[in-house]
Amino acid sequence: MNTNEPKHLPLALFLLRVSVFVVFLIWTLDKFLRPEHAAGVYQNFYFSPALSAAVFYALGAIEMMIIAAFLLGIKKKLSYGAVFLFHLISTVSTYKQFFAPFENMNILFYAALPMLAACFALYVLRDHDTMLVWPAKPKAGPSFGGKQKSGGV
């Protein structure tokens, strides 16, 4: 850990990563458990034509692999970037709801904004997100290639 790095930064980033993962996990599971709901979301917010359940199973499988890599800190630039991009597109596609916050359940869409900020923070701070990532970086230990202490075996 960098000596200038705040002591609790890895914990804070880990908690952000897990909480963003949980939200994405629910959205991903929705594609498997309620593909008709996912189809409605895509038609309403992404102006998609009607898509079959098989399409959502495939999208869900790809998304599951990406969010698993994100949770485990694998290929951070790619996985964190993909999660940020997915959420950016998701947030921008709901822009109309932000102009009518007190209609229907639109107030709930505002929760997307701090999550978008969290996704961005995780992306730009990905090199500092070191808690429980895979593969774990080995901790600095004693050097065996340098000078030996005299008198040692």
Task: State residue 140's pLDDT score.
Answer: 56
Alpha-carbon distance values, 60 to 27, 31, 64, 68, 112 (Å): 9, 6, 6, 12, 20
Report the alpha-carbon distance of residue 92 to residue 20 in Å, rounded: 17
Provide the residue-wise pLDDT of the chain in tens; the chain has 153 residues.
556 889 999 999 999 999 999 999 999 999 999 999 999 999 999 999 999 999 999 999 999 999 999 999 999 999 999 999 999 999 999 999 999 999 999 999 999 999 999 999 999 999 999 999 998 765 555 545 544 444 444
Residue 8 CB coordination number (10 Å) = 9
Closest CA to 98 of 120, 115, 113, 87: 113
Coil/strand/helix, residue 13: helix
Report the alpha-carbon distance of residue 132 to residue 77 in Å, rounded: 17
